[in-house]
Structure 1
Amino acid sequence: MPDMKLAIVSHVLPPSWSGQAMALHRLLADVEPHRYCLISRQDYGEDNPAFADGLRLPGEYHHLPSEAQLPTGQRFGIGRITALLNLVLRIATRARRITAILRQENCSTVVACTGDLADPPAAYLASRRIGVPFYLHAFDDYVYQWTVPWKRTLARWSERFIMRGTVGVIVPNEFMGEAYAKRHAAATHLVRNPSLSIGTGDEIKTPWPARTGEIRIIYTGAVYHAHHDAFRNLIAALALLGRSDIHVHMYTAQTRTQLEQEGIRGPMEIHHHLTPIRSRDVQQQADILFLPLAFESPVQEVVRTSAPGKLGEYLASGRPLLVHAPADSFVSWYCKQQGCGIVVDENRPEALAAGIRSILEDEALRKRMLEQASVAAKQDFSLPGIRAAYWALFETSRGG
């Protein structure tokens, strides 16, 4: 049997700084480049200045040019009809182009990642045309990640279509697996978003608090509608505590103006977003790492099944974790089950203030949480084990 070659279709790829791109980088970084190729509607050509951070993978990148689209209109309901026709056109054109790449690269398995409405059905069609196994990698829920109702409807139709011949759905957590098993009785395969940090030992070197006279609450990552009200609660909780020594540091691509437009304003410092290595270093200087998810947002179904890529890093950092997320979310469930952080699952600043106070005042609690977090990180987010399981999945589907 010839060597397996994986085709990965994703709207974001390394070296993009998104959690999805970083997870793909970790799953592929030490794999021989002839065993995979990467396909995206974004152009990852070598002249892209984003490659300066060294996170470009050695495998072959393929760019899917923009598809021709019909002009849109809004009169007499024609806008939605045109949108549907454009999606069908986009899927058909993209499927044809992906098929050509699969044949050129002699791919034996196709994986389509969520994040683009057309990618999964187009990649599925291409896999059917050349007769190779297809997997959906659900970094987020393919149906519910869309806030526009008609897009959700189209995603639901597309998902039913591709599930007819999908070998399996790769999911980052148990809640996502349950959602797909319930909707389609689909075979799901748990592949958590792996951590970069586990096993370094660096986390034991930073005292608590990291700086005399200051308590640093740190968040690293994007801030969007799946986080907004949790951050507003954090600012309100700090006002309730009335302590001038507690400072919030946010390392994000969002600007202060953008955050303030969402009502997130107060004693916080906004820093530029970080590379993965630099992010790990900053996390290990936190006195509290903040992991928020929204209680009221247009994508509560996504919040429930969300597996933030930073979770493994936070657990491996050796710093106290403060989770502020709904009780029915995976993040709250997991951290409660593992005892690896303070979980505040009420949408109240008062409850969040009490959670912060417990971390600040209870040294035994901090020690216990850190011990449990280290166990959870090594058990569930270790990169070598996750990468091995990921590739074994595709070997099994080939009968190898």
Structure 2
Amino acid sequence: MADVSTYPRVLVVGAEPFGHATGTGITLSNLFGGWPAERLAQVHLTATAPSTDVCRRYYALDPRSAPVDYWTRRLMAKGTPGGPPAPDAGPAARSARGRMWQHMRAVADLSPLVLPRQLLSWARRYRPEVVYSVLGSVRVMRLACGIARHCGVPLVPHFMDDWPTTLYADGELLGLGRRAAEANLREVMRLSRSGLCISTPMADEYRRRYRIPFAAFMNCVDGAAFDGYRAGEGSPGPRSAEGSVEFVYAGGLHLGRWAALARIGSALEHIVSPLPPARLTVYAPERDLERYAPAFADLSAVRLARSVGSTEVVPILRSADVLVHVESFAPDLVRYTRLSLSTKIPQYLAAGRPILGHGPGELASMRHIVAADAGLVVGDEEMEPLVRRIERLCRDPLLRQRLGDNGYSYAKVRHSREEVASAFAAHLARVAGAAGEARR
């Protein structure tokens, strides 16, 4: 670890605190892992209990500082608008309930926000050199910009998805939502000397779009995740007790991912002898498993398992023969995910297991799998090519071994936390240093 003085004082601003239950929380915890405790603090909006293994200094913003948002979200939590409809709801229900939920979300997000004096005083006492935020909503943009202006320091935005393209793009509140999002994003860029993105394709596009420098920083993997695997020495045969080929998915089922997984489950039922039987085991958050269970009810080759804690992920991934990554083919969701790199991809690669990717081939996540030569990608919704790729993975254990080895080697170079987190700290230090020079 570098000398403490090489780390700038960073104030992280976001909806959720550091943690290990969400993709964003995991990415933040890994990027800031090992950061000196006195040089890291966070302002967050939710009442979620923060994790203290990475950051120990928190300010939880009272939800009543935005009273319209507070009462609207309480109303939504009680189920008045119904939230996004379940996958087995009819088209009319999906349209009516979905639109109502979108408008209610916009009302909550665009409601007035007051920065309490206590918060501003707390931030001044901390003396940040950089405000860092993953943004994602109008309210968080306003909060991050307000604190950066008050403290007189640069804002460093980190984009995990291409939400600037999709946020309120359906005309919520007669277009007011979209105009508010665009206006606040312009203020973000005005306060930023440079930005960060979750993938290299996103960084390339954002440099052209916003005309400021962008660098790519994605989830990284702790060195312990690489232990116990030796490229070329693992058993290439099936690992499950029944002798079948075990496909494993670990992650959320939202953003239409449940549909792609159900299609894989259907394809697995086409596997016939003399190929070994195959099964897809899905590990997902409990709320997703409950909500999307009907989509898998008739698929005998799919097993819905359970939610897993962060400490269980590595052994579960290593227990698989093939790891599965999916994204939706729905055009509105493709716009949102096309430049993103899922948190799980570096974890999958580090596990040394081949990956079956199923989603539009142009997505950054699918391109990353191909670039690593770590798996097979099926980039369309047709059943026949999906069945063929699955059969190939089931038939050829040496192919599985080669792809897994490739992914492991790629992750060691590109996703090791020791390398990525050091470069991340150096980047923020340069931003803070440049801002300090400009003030002198």
Q: TM-score, normalised by structure 2?
A: 0.79
Which residue is equivalent to 2:401?
367
2:277 is matched by which residue type in structure 1?
D
Aligned match of 2:221: 195
1:326 to 1:152, Cα distance in 2 relative to 1, 3 A: farther
Bigger mean CA deviation after superposition, 260-269 or 319-328 = 260-269
The residue identity in structure 2 corresponding to 1:293 is: E
- Aligned residue type for 1:61: Y
Q: Deviations over 1:215-261 (max 9, x none)?
A: 21101111112413311220221122246831111111145442134
Q: Is the 8 A contact 2:249 2:323 kept in 1?
A: yes
C-alpha distance in 2 between matches for 1:96 and 1:229: 47
* Paired position in structure 2 for 1:252: 284
Sort the Cα spacing of 1:180 and 1:318 in 2 relative to 1 into closer, same or farther, 3 A: same
On the 8 A contact 1:147/1:298 being kept in 2, the answer is no
CA contact (8 A) 1:8 1:36 kept: yes
CA contact (8 A) 1:144 1:301 kept: yes
1:197 positional shift? 5.3
The question of 1:394 aligning with 2:398 is answered no
Q: In the TM superposition, what is the alpha-carbon distance from 1:161 to its structure 2 partner?
A: 2.4
Q: Is the 8 A contact 1:198 1:316 kept in 2?
A: no
Which of 298, 301, 304 is the aligned partner of 2:338?
A: 304
Query: Would you say the 8 A contact 1:12–1:42 is kept in 2?
Result: yes
Amino acid at match of 2:148: S
Contact 2:349/2:407 (CA < 8 Å) preserved in 1? yes
**Residue 199 of structure 1: CA displacement?**
6.3
Deviations 1:196-223 (A, max 9, x none): 3566332348633112422211011111
Separation in 1, partners of 2:6, 2:208: 36
Task: Provide the secondary structure at the position in 1 that maps to 2:47.
Answer: coil
Number of the residue aligned with 1:68: 67
Contact 1:13 1:24 survives alignment (8 Å): no
> Cα distance 1:115–1:377, how it changes in 2: closer, same or farther (>3 A)?
same
Shift of 1:63: 0.2
What is the aligned partner in structure 2 of residue 291 from structure 1? Answer: 325
Residue 22 (structure 2) aligned to one of 18, 21, 33: 18
Contact 2:156 2:192 in 1 (8 A): yes
Displacement of 1:38: 1.3
Q: Report which stretch shifted further, 186-195 or 233-242.
A: 233-242
State whether residues 154 and 431 of structure 2, in contact with CA within 8 Å, keep that contact through their aligned partners in structure 1.
yes
Q: Which amino acid aligns with 2:114?
A: T
Contact 2:12 2:40 in 1 (8 A): yes
> C-alpha separation between the residues in 2 aligned to 1:130 and 1:34?
17
C-alpha separation in 1, matches of 2:253 and 2:246: 18
Q: Aligned equivalents of 1:18 and 1:245: distance in 2?
A: 33
CA distance in 2 between counterparts of 1:325 and 1:375 reads 24
Query: Is 352-361 or 146-155 further displaced after alignment?
Result: 146-155
User: Aligned-pair distance for 1:291?
Assistant: 0.6
Structure 1: which 5+ residue stretches go unaligned? none
Counterpart amino acid of residue 56 in structure 2: G
Establish whether residue 342 from structure 1 lines up as the match of residue 376 from structure 2. yes
Distance 1:356 1:165 in 2: 48
Q: Quick one: which of 211, 229, 235 aligns to 2:265?
A: 235
SS of the counterpart of 1:118? Answer: helix
Contact between 1:8 and 1:39, CA under 8 Å: does it hold in 2? Answer: yes
Distance, in Å, in 1 between the alignment partners of 2:297 and 2:24 is 25
Give the one of 290, 306, 310 matched to 1:272: 306
Match of 2:192 among 148, 161, 166: 166
Which amino acid is 1:370 matched to?
Answer: G
Closer/same/farther in 2, CA of residues 338 and 198 from structure 1, 3 Å limit: farther
Alignment of 1:105-254 (within 5 A): 105-144=126-165, 146=167, 149=170, 150=172, 151-196=177-222, 200-204=226-230, 207=235, 208-212=237-241, 213-242=243-272, 245-253=277-285, 254=287
Aligned positions, number:
388
Provide the rounded CA distance (Å) in 1 between the counterparts of 2:355 and 2:58. Answer: 37
Alignment of 1:76-95 (within 5 A): 87=109, 89-90=111-112, 92-94=113-115
Q: Deviations over 1:43-77 (max 9, x none)?
A: 2457xxxx6xxx643421110111222888x9xxx
For residue 143 of structure 1, give the secondary structure of its aligned residue in structure 2.
helix
- Where does the alignment leave 5 or more consecutive residues of structure 2 unmatched? 73-80, 82-100, 435-440
Give the SS at the match of 1:137.
Answer: strand
Aligned to 2:123: 102
The match for 1:32 among 30, 36, 49 is 36
- Call closer, same or farther: CA 1:147–1:87 in 2, change over 3 Å: closer
Deviations 1:261-314 (A, max 9, x none): 456751322222212221111000001100111111532112211211111110
Are 1:143 and 1:152, in contact at CA under 8 Å, matched by a contact in 2? no
Report the aligned-residue RMSD: 3.0
What SS does structure 2 have at the residue aligned with 1:7? strand
Q: Check the 8 A contact 1:233/1:348 in 2, yes or no.
A: no
Amino acid at match of 1:10: G
* Aligned mates of 2:428, 2:192 — CA distance in 1: 13
Letter in 2 for 1:140: D
Deviation at 1:35, TM superposition (A): 0.7
Identity across matched positions, percent: 18
**SS at the partner of 1:122?**
helix
Q: TM-score, normalised by structure 1?
A: 0.87
Aligned to 2:68, the other structure's residue is in SS state coil
> Does the CA-based 8 Å contact 1:194-1:382 persist in structure 2?
yes
Q: How far apart in 1 are the matches of 2:253 and 2:107?
A: 33
Pair 1:226–1:297, CA change in 2 (3 A): farther
Matched, 1:326 2:369: no
Q: Which of residues 359, 366, 376 is equivalent to 2:410?
A: 376
